[in-house]
Structure 1
Amino acid sequence: MKKQKLDPLDRAALMRVAVDLLSRREYSRQELWRKLSPRAADTADVESVLIDLSERHWQSDERFSESFLRSRVARGHGPVRVRQALREKGIKDELVKQSLDACDQDWYQLASDVAAKKLASLKGEPQDIRAKLYRFLAYRGFSSDQIQTVIERVSIEDTCD
């Protein structure tokens, strides 16, 4: 069964769709552009709607980046991964840096907490466990300095067979 192609939306309808989206969660300007532009009759309408939303403070990349950062920290993601994800969402590098600097998160402590949780599921020789833990923390977005510090702190020998 094919999807029906919807009629292009005018400016007022685009504004309703955008407000409906923003009522559920924060969106970056780029995310809204991607959601609205395929449905628009004219891309100038999309730009006009985005400007209007921004002027009314209904859409804010600053607010989006703060909210996104909090949610990713709660998931145990490190600063490298958060930075990359924000860039993919269309947040400018300067704002990404501001958001990470304003965040009062102790990244070393977060890395330590994430490592402690992961350590419980790792089995094998201490050397293998260190390598697995390093890869896992790197995947989670922690810097090599943060990872090295955490690996030095944790007691891997206690988890060995």
Structure 2
Amino acid sequence: MSEVAKEIQGICLRLLARREHSQKELLDKLALRGFDKDDALPVIDELAEQGWQDDLRYAESYARFRIRKGYGPIRVGYELLQNGIAAFDLEGIVKEEAGSWMGLMEQVYSKKYTDDTVLDRNEWAKRSRFLLHRGFSGAMISALFDELNIRFL
């Protein structure tokens, strides 16, 4: 193993000792430190073969963290995509953490807002934007408002 490869491996192991990283994250961090992608990729692949780095394990860890923070499927999926994870099933994790996306959204909503059932347009739009920003779809938000009997004037 070359000196550059040993240095890359050391950096990667230090990063992975702190928390899980996707391959893309490791490549990006190494690029910021001036390492060539062609030098880094074989080292990262070797770490993956040895079990030090695993994109699936990273995706599960990251999804659990974000779901616990109250983020919805659109936001979590997008963030995973940004970190190099193209397809990942979030349903099993959300069932373990919150029961369902609707249950999670209701928890997030109830934590932030009171039980008002009649809202003016501005307040209704503000609450909808909050949930949209958290990563819940418009259809999910409408279903939540219907379930909680929230109407606007």
Cα distance in 1 for partners of 2:126, 2:113 equals 9
Does 1:138 pair with 2:132?
A: yes
Pairs within 5 Å for 1:5-154: 10-39=4-33, 42-93=36-87, 96=88, 98=89, 100-103=90-93, 104=95, 105-120=99-114, 125-154=119-148
The 2-side partners of 1:88 and 1:71 are apart by 16
Change (3 A) 1:87 1:42: closer
Q: Is the 8 A contact 1:129 1:156 kept in 2?
A: no
Shift of 1:42: 4.4
TM norm structure 2: 0.84
Once the two structures are TM-superposed, the CA of residue 119 in structure 1 deviates from its matched residue by 1.1
**How high is the TM-score relative to the length of structure 1?**
0.80
In structure 1, distance between residues paired with 2:68 and 2:34: 36
- Contact 1:130 1:151 (8 Å CA) reproduced: no
Consecutive unaligned residues in structure 2, runs of 5 or more: none
RMSD after superposition: 2.3
Question: What residue identity is the alignment partner of 1:145?
Answer: A
Cα deviation, residue 116, structure 1: 1.0
How far has the Cα of 1:69 moved from its partner?
0.4
Segments of 5+ residues of structure 1 without an aligned counterpart are 1-8
CA distance in 2, matches of 1:114, 1:147: 12
How many equivalent residue pairs?
Answer: 144
SS in 2 for 1:10: helix
Query: What's the % identity of the aligned pairs?
Result: 34
